[in-house]
């Protein structure tokens, strides 16, 4: 799985000769991300994601999060709390920088927060699948299309199973914008068999 990372475009960022944000700018970003990860486990990079010559892409990589676990489901108990912290951090970055994009691990956390907001029980969630669909950018070398550092514009189709056995399919953009949430009644064979007739009973 790719790094847990956030990407945002800024026309005012200053960088040093090593292509890293200046310390003043970096300190500001670290403060916003502090609830998610220790500063020493977070590093910033500067690059270009093809938004124009004057636009600088800043990528924050949070290396200390549980999502680097060998089994992603081992740490699901911590997801609801981390999802809330991620939302607050992204909202703070949006307020100052505008557009913020999330890598797949961050999108998984974001999706859990969206499910929680819709009163879906998240304490027994399991991740069934995570599919990343990059947006085609003809100006980008196609070998970089699936690399978040070069192309953060993408869709995620994320599938979870809850404690009752039902599946939830969450489709969202890397910006966090929700496309759809669909419940699949995988936990009840009668509902699966009868469909709408079951729901009317």
State the pLDDT at residue 35.
76
User: What domain range is 195 assigned to?
Assistant: 5-199
pLDDT at 17: 44
The pLDDT value recorded for residue 155 is 97
With a CB cutoff of 8 Å and minimum separation 6, the contacts of 155 are 132, 133, 135, 171, 172, 173, 174, 179
Q: What are phi and psi of 170, to 5 degrees?
A: -110, 120
Q: Which residues pair with 130 in a beta bridge?
A: 158
The least confident of 26-30, 36-40, 109-113 is 36-40
Domain count, the chain: 1
Query: Does 89 or 201 have the greater pLDDT score?
Result: 89
Say what the pLDDT of residue 22 is: 55
Domain containing residue 95: CATH number = 3.10.450.40
User: What are 61-106's pLDDT values in tens digits?
Assistant: 877 564 444 445 555 667 777 888 888 888 888 887 778 899 998 9
126-180 pLDDT per residue, tens: 899 999 999 988 777 777 778 887 788 999 999 999 999 999 999 999 999 999 9
Q: State the pLDDT at residue 118.
A: 92
């Amino acid at each position: 799985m790719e790094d847990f990372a956030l990407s945002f475009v800024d026309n005012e960022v200053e960088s040093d000769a090593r292509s890293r944000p200046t310390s003043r700018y970096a300190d500001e970003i670290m403060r916003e991300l502090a609830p998610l990860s220790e500063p020493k486990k977070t590093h910033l990079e500067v690059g270009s994601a093809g938004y124009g010559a004057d636009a600088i892409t800043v990528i924050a990589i949070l290396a200390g999060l549980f999502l680097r676990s060998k089994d992603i489901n081992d740490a699901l108990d911590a997801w609801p709390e981390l999802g809330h912290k991620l939302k607050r951090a992204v909202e703070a970055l949006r307020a100052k920088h505008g557009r913020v994009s999330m890598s797949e691990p961050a999108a998984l956390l974001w999706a859990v927060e969206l499910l929680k907001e819709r009163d879906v029980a998240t304490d027994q969630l399991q991740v069934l699948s995570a599919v990343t669909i990059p947006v085609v950018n003809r100006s980008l070398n196609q070998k970089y299309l699936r690399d978040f550092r070069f192309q953060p514009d993408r869709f995620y189709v994320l599938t979870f199973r809850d404690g009752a056995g039902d599946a939830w399919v969450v489709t969202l953009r890397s910006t966090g914008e929700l496309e759809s949430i669909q419940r699949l009644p995988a936990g009840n064979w009668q509902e699966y068999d009868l469909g709408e007739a079951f729901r009317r009973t």
